[in-house]
Structure 1
Amino acid sequence: MRILHTSDWHLGRSFHREGMLTHQAAFVDHLLEVVEQERVDLVVVSGDVYDRALPQVDAVRLASETLARLAASRANVVLTSGNHDSAQRLGFGSSLIDAAGVFIRTDAGRVGEPVLLHDEHGPVAVYGIPYLDPDAVREPWGLPARSHEAALAEAMRRVRADLTGRSARSVVMAHAFVAGCEPSDSERDISVGGVSMVSASLFDGIDYTALGHLHGSQSLSATVRYSGSPLAYSFSETGHVKGSWLVDLDGSGATTAEFVPAPVPRSLARLRGELESLLSDPDLDAHRDSWVQVTLTDAVRPSQAMERLRRRFPHTLVLGFESTAPVIGPLTTPGTSSRRDRDLVADFVAELRGTAASPAELELLGRAVDACCADGDVDTLVTPTADAEEFAEVLF
């Protein structure tokens, strides 16, 4: 049986306010092409179909179109819910959809009931384990502890109990953080009591385990893998190669796997250095069309840095500063007499930028300070009318 393992689509998610739905639709096109070209028998989607429990209308439409296209393809589909999904909403109508060869498994109570498929070598039992919230299953399952390890251990006990009475090869789908793997910044924290990980040994003896939740493609062993997300959802994933696992399960239960890269809508780049260097370095021309995260290290914070960066890198999305200037200390000393607000602000700007504000900037700062006074005790050197946009443009 040929299996295509994917997960963490996060339909409806944005990337630093950039809409991703068009890119997610392109991945679906790629997925269907792989199914046909590689003659895939089974597609497994290990959770986080949506990015939120109440997905936007366009995301629901794309999911509906995707499942309809998969149902019309040569492959069967088993899909589970992740920690971003609403299990009840994603699982609505699943018993009817089963008839189309798309098996949606979101009910924790059914983890020991496999989807039974067949090839020329006999049956394959596919166990779709949705994301298990330890608080939700602890009481009904009588768990000894409130933890992900306890919840998934019980789920796997039920899987093995069912397998004991069958002569079938086994595939398990699970949405969890397995120890020994590398997370990224774009996964939601699922820790309970400070612990989020489970042991890979829970899946010992299973012919193939298709994991979801972590967004980087990773192999814990020849039979336990994360497919990762099909698109990057944070700059921490700059070095990731996105895609799916194409897994061949033979008649004895042995597996071989090949990674199938997904299309890259726009590459990611993380740049660091002084502004003038980043703007003039010819080696950075390769990132003109990338989504860019920039960390500036100038001792003095440059004026209009984002605007200048976007002239060279139009898709700069994140700008941070790690100045080499001294750390700002206290602006007042306990026990000293009070100082005018405008003087405190002027000192703050001088320490932050490494240089004093110009006369024009001092006037603008004074206007901003006076406009914020609520007690009427204003400094009277200038008229208290502040223009916030002008203030921001001149100062930064």
Structure 2
Amino acid sequence: MRLLHTSDWHLGRSFHRVGLRDEQAAFLDHLVTTARTERVDAVLVAGDIHDRAIPPLHAVRLLDDVLHRLADTGIPAILISGNHDSPHRLGSGARLIARAGIHLRTDPADCATPVVLSDAHGDVAFYGLPYLEPALVRDEFAVPKADHAAVVGAAMDRVRADLARRPAGTRSVVLAHAFVTGGRPSDSERDITVGGVAAVPAALFDGIDYTALGHLHGCQTLTERVRYAGSPLAYSFSEAGHRKSLWLIDLGPAGEVHAERVDFPVPRPLARVRGRLETLLTDPLLAPHEEAWVEAILTDPVHPDEPMARLTARFPHVLSLVHDPERTDPASPASYAQRLSGRDDRQIAEDFVAHVRAGQGPDDAERAHLRAALDAARVHRSTP
């Protein structure tokens, strides 16, 4: 069975205030064309279809159009909701839409109810695990601890229980939206660390023939059977080195996996250029980036006059300007952004308490209050 694995469309998103409507329409065209020319048996979309819970009208229309086109080809599609999606809005009308071969999996309670497709070698059961916010689904899965590994593990227990009841030789595919250990993040994914440790071990998906992951925006292979498709477009300059693609997966009669990457069209390349302003304006080695979307990192000790206007004369598509002055004193403290790099919301909040109290950090009770407040903020943001 041939599968096309994609994820993280983020319909409605912009890139540094530049609208991406045409670029998103182009990658959806490419998706439908690839599905048709490669004669795939199913399209898998592993979450973050929209960029926010209430997407703009043009994003709703883009999704409606691509689903109609996939239905017209007769190719089934299976989609799950991600942490950016509103599961209730995305899943509205799911049972009716399923009659057209478009299967939306947005309710955690349905994670063990597969879409079953067949080929000459038998059945393939597709299980959709939408994004599982621990604080919201803890009761559904009756887990003692509201963290990501616990709820995903409980969902996978249900999947395996259902799979065990199916005829011998039934192959299995799981769609999941999660941060799996070993994945490499970028700057454009929304943080999901509040509510417990974000990463879940890849071993939770052991025994599944193929796991189609979404959430991280870089296409990557964790194991031969566990892969991220990544986002089809770059949504931050940290993705400048990404090769944007989707996975074409051939699932053999005994569950063998053969994977091939199919590149998405690049609307405009990304480039990060670094140096003093005068160097960026004159260095001939930077000529290949003159038509790219550019992030300029200025290292001038003193912020130069009108840097954006001057840079635009050479790089008309410069979108981001960062001032990271050269440090003449190696003992001087790092920038605020550098001090925060790699720290989660809880650590930042606790550091702030220590900063305003002359070095005295929060005690155990105060840490508990901070965690509760951050969890409440997470739940509020995830609730439609």
What TM-score results when the alignment is normalised by the length of structure 1?
0.81
Could you tell me whether the CA contact under 8 Å between 1:48 and 1:82 is conserved in 2?
A: yes
Quote the Cα distance in structure 2 between the aligned partners of 1:127 and 1:223. 15
Higher mean displacement: 149-158 or 69-78: 69-78
Change in 2 beyond 3 A, CA 1:163/1:194: closer
1:190 maps to 192
- Offset from partner CA, 1:23-59 (integer Å, 9 cap, x none): 0000001001111111111000000000000000110
Indicate whether 1:10 and 2:7 are aligned: no
Distance in 2 separating the partners of 1:19 and 1:166? 47
Identical pairs, percent: 57
Quick one: distance in 1 between partners of 2:250 and 2:116? Answer: 17
Cα displacement (A) at 1:141: 2.1
- On the 8 A contact 2:247/2:261 being kept in 1, the answer is yes
Larger radius of gyration: 1
Aligned twin of 1:135:
135
Among candidates 237, 248, 254, match of residue 256 of structure 2: 254
Provide the rounded CA distance (Å) in 1 between the counterparts of 2:77 and 2:326: 54
> 1:111 and 1:193, CA in 2 relative to 1: closer, same or farther beyond 3 A?
closer
**Of the candidates 320, 323, 327, which is equivalent to residue 322 of structure 2?**
320
How far does the alpha carbon of each residue in 1:85-140 deviate from its partner, in whole angstroms, 9 at most, with x for none? 00000000000000101001101001010001011111100001101111111123
CA contact (8 A) 2:219 2:230 kept: yes
Corresponding position: 1:245 with 2:257: no
* Alignment-mate amino acid for residue 5 of structure 2: H
The Cα of 1:324 is off from its aligned counterpart by 2.9
- Cα deviation for residue 320 of structure 1 reads 1.3
Could you say which residue in structure 2 is the equivalent of 1:364? none
Distance 2:203 2:53 in 1: 30
1:237-290: CA deviations, max 9, x gaps? 010001100000011111100011100001000000011111111121111110
SS for the counterpart of 2:9 is coil
Query: C-alpha displacement at 1:326, in angstroms?
Result: 5.8
Higher relative contact order (CA 8 A, sep 6+): 2
| CA shift in 2, pair 1:155/1:293, >3 Å | same
In the other structure, the counterpart of 2:296 is 294
Say how many residue pairs are matched: 327
**Residues 325, 212 of structure 1: CA spacing in aligned structure 2 closer, same or farther, 3 A cutoff?**
closer
RMSD: 1.1
Segment drifting more, 278-287 vs 3-12: 278-287
Q: Deviations over 1:314-362 (max 9, x none)?
A: 01011111223668xxxxxxxxxxxxxxxxxxxxxxxxxxxxxxxxxxx
Shift of 1:179: 0.6
Contact in 1 for aligned 2:187/2:236 (Cα 8 Å): yes
Q: 1:139 to 1:34 in 2, by over 3 A?
A: same
Q: Tell me, which stretches of 5 or more residues in structure 1 are unaligned? A: 328-396
SS of the residue aligned with 2:194? Answer: coil
Deviations 1:179-213 (A, max 9, x none): 11110000001113451110000000100000000
- 1:245 is paired with a residue of what secondary structure? strand
Tell me if structure 2 keeps the 8 A contact 1:300–1:325: no
Secondary structure at 2:291 match in 1? coil
Q: C-alpha displacement at 1:297, in angstroms? A: 1.1
**Helix, strand or coil at the partner of 1:69:** helix
User: Contact conserved, 1:112 with 1:155, CA < 8 A, in 2?
Assistant: yes
Match of 1:112 in 2: 112
